[in-house]
């Protein structure tokens, strides 16, 4: 009976550690995808602002409908907050939406900072200036995406193996 418990516990330890490694690896692989969606969504926002001059609540809601994942949560959240007409500034609505979308994202601190920096300028100047801010943020996100891809190629498999090997190591120590 004791042996059976030991075997089950051992399997649980190895599976748990492998799972933790897989989650970390998955997050590393998801980050470039999330950043790519964000960059594409910002490109659409450039069109909404630069060509259509749509006010932010409508522009953000329309962009949200064309994207997915945390990017959709971010644009939909900020657009919805601004539509409430409760006096929130664009910067406040955007940063609250970044915080709320962050929970379901694989964004790093640098990704979040790039988004928050954009929020400070969003809606607060003329069309030409807005386009410059959006293009700058998009470039930053694309650079971060390239870095995230390299990081994922390098580290995702490593985290997966480390998880499994860590579990085995823990099992050996505990036995």
Contacts with another protein by CB under 8 A: the residue count is 23
Contact set for another protein, span 21-60 (CB under 8 A): 49, 53-57, 59
Which residue among 66, 125, 132, 174 contacts another protein (CB under 8 A)? 125
d(CA 57, CA 51): 16
Structure tokens that stand for 134 in this block? 């959006």
| CB-nearer residue toward another protein: 41 or 122 | 122
d(CA 56, CA 34): 22
d(CA 140, CA 137): 5
Which residue among 2, 3, 4, 87 contacts another protein (CB under 8 A)? 87
Contact set for another protein, span 104-123 (CB under 8 A): 122-123
| DSSP secondary structure, 156-169, as one string | HHHHHHHHHHHHHH
Instruction: Enumerate binding residues for another protein (CB under 8 A).
Output: 49, 53-57, 59, 82, 85-90, 93, 122-127, 129-130
């Amino acid at each position: 009976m004791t042996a059976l418990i030991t075997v089950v516990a051992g399997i649980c330890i190895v599976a748990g550690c492998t799972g933790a490694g897989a989650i970390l690896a998955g997050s590393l692989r998801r980050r470039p995808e999330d950043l790519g969606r964000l960059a594409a969504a910002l490109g659409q926002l450039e069109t909404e602002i630069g060509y259509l001059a749509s006010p932010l609540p409508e522009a953000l809601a329309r962009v949200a409908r064309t994207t997915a994942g945390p990017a959709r949560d971010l644009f939909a959240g900020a657009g919805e907050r601004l539509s409430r007409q409760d006096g929130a500034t664009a910067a406040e609505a955007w940063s609250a939406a970044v915080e709320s979308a962050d929970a379901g994202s694989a964004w790093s601190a640098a990704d979040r900072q790039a988004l928050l920096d954009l929020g400070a300028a969003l809606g607060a100047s003329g069309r030409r200036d807005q386009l410059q801010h959006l293009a700058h943020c998009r470039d930053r996100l694309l650079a971060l995406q390239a870095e995230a891809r390299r990081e994922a190629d390098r580290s995702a498999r490593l985290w997966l193996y480390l998880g499994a090997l860590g579990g085995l190591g823990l099992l050996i120590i505990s036995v």
